[in-house]
């Protein structure tokens, strides 16, 4: 009975020792007598003692491979230090276990050679400004190359690009010169804009002043035209009234003379009367004296002869 108990205890210990629990996001590669048998996923599993073994414990989580800075030569023969960060995950535990002896080391070396090939086709300025392009190309190349290792490369990032010290000094001077140039350009554009604004303001002021003067002249001209029109209309109305009143030519001539007298009231006025007007005036005066027309002076009363006094001596 004691031997049976010991055997049962030994069997129980062996069974417990061969019970394996695979954590979440992990896989175990199982070999049977040195040959791949299966892949255990997350959960509880029991292996056969002595003939089965766990050949590889693989995590399926995304991992980060931080490569150290390495010298890279650009197309224009500038040597710089570049370090990369690779984000990857294992998607096939069997390929990861049997695809390469050391998949992580292989991935690191492959990233270094790929980076040298890509940067070697670019010049210094292109390298500094083409991070996204370099990242995309490296991700594509590494992802395709690591498929047979069971690795999925999600993305690659260039962490630091460190050019030589003399190149850095030259770049700083170039950046300072560029900033100075932009500052000068902005100041020139500001002065230009201010000058244009002032010129536009002066132009608008001159245009408004000219328009105001034009409107004033038009208003004055319209006023004078209207005054002349009203004056002529009044004269026409007066002549029309005289015509309707059937005034003879003598009265019309007298009106002309009155107008001439009114014109001569000013100082230093000279009036030139045509000879035919003078003859007509004499004729009208003679006609007035003989006919009595146009004479407003009352005739003087006839003087009566003094009464003859009686002579006392004769009467």
Cβ distance 151 to 88 under 8 Å? Answer: yes
Provide the pLDDT for residue 114.
92
CA distances from 105 to 21, 60, 66, 86, 109 (A): 29, 18, 11, 12, 6
**Which pLDDT belongs to residue 294?**
47
Q: According to DSSP H, which parts of the chain are helical? A: 2-17, 93-98, 103-119, 124-129, 131-145, 165-244, 249-263, 275-291
Residue found under tokens 């995304």: 62
Q: Report if pTM > 0.85.
A: no
Q: What is the mean pLDDT of each run of 10 residues along the chain (315 residues)?
A: 78 83 90 89 87 90 90 88 93 90 91 91 85 91 92 91 83 85 89 90 90 89 87 78 65 64 57 54 52 48 48 46
* Whole-number pLDDT of residue 287: 46
The predicted pLDDT at position 300 comes to 46
Q: How much is the pLDDT for 90? A: 93
Residue 313: per-residue pLDDT: 46
Mean pLDDT score of the chain: 80
3-state secondary structure of 37: strand
Rounded-to-integer distance, Cα 150 and Cα 98, Å: 9
- pLDDT digit string (tens) for 121-166? 988 888 888 889 999 999 999 999 999 999 999 999 998 888 888 8
Q: What is the pLDDT of residue 79?
A: 87
Q: Could you give the CA distance from residue 174 to residue 182 in angstroms, rounded to a whole number?
A: 12
Q: What is the pLDDT of residue 19?
A: 86
- The rounded distance, in Å, linking the Cα atoms of 94 and 140 is 23
Partners of 151 in the beta sheet?
A: 90
Task: Give the model's pLDDT for residue 68.
Answer: 87
A 10 A CB-CB count for 104 gives 15
- Return d(Cα 134, Cα 82) in angstroms, integer: 12
pLDDT at residue 270 in the model: 56
Q: Supply the pLDDT for residue 112.
A: 92
Distance CA 85, CA 88 (A): 10
């Amino acid at each position: 009975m004691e031997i049976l108990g010991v055997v049962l205890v030994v069997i129980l210990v062996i069974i417990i020792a061969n019970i394996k629990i695979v954590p979440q996001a992990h896989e175990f590669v199982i070999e049977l007598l040195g040959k791949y048998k299966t892949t255990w996923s997350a959960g509880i599993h029991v292996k056969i003692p002595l003939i089965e073994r766990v050949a590889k414990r693989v995590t399926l989580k995304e991992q980060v491979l931080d490569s150290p800075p390495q010298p890279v030569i650009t197309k224009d023969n500038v040597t710089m230090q570049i370090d990369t960060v690779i984000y990857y995950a294992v998607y096939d535990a069997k390929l990861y276990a049997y695809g390469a002896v050391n998949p992580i080391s292989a991935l690191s070396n492959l990233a270094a050679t790929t980076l040298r090939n890509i940067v070697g086709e670019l010049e210094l300025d292109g390298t500094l400004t083409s991070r996204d392009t370099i990242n995309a190309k490296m991700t594509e190349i590494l992802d395709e190359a690591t498929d047979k290792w069971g690795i999925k490369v999600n993305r690659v990032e260039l962490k630091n690009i460190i050019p030589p010290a003399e190149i850095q000094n030259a770049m700083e001077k170039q950046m300072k010169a560029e900033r100075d140039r932009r500052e000068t350009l902005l100041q020139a554009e500001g002065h230009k804009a201010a000058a244009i604004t002032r010129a536009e303001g002066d132009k608008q002021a001159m245009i408004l002043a000219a328009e105001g003067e034009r409107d004033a002249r038009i208003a004055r001209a319209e006023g004078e035209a209207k005054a002349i029109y009203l004056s002529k209309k009044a004269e026409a109305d007066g002549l029309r009234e005289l015509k309707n009143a059937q005034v003879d030519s003598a009265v019309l001539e007298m009106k002309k003379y009155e107008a001439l007298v009114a014109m001569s009231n000013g100082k230093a006025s000279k009036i030139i009367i045509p000879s035919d007007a003078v003859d007509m005036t004499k004729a009208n005066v003679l006609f007035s004296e003989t006919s009595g027309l146009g004479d407003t002076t009352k005739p003087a009363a006839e003087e009566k002869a003094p009464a003859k006094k009686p002579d006392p001596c004769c009467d």
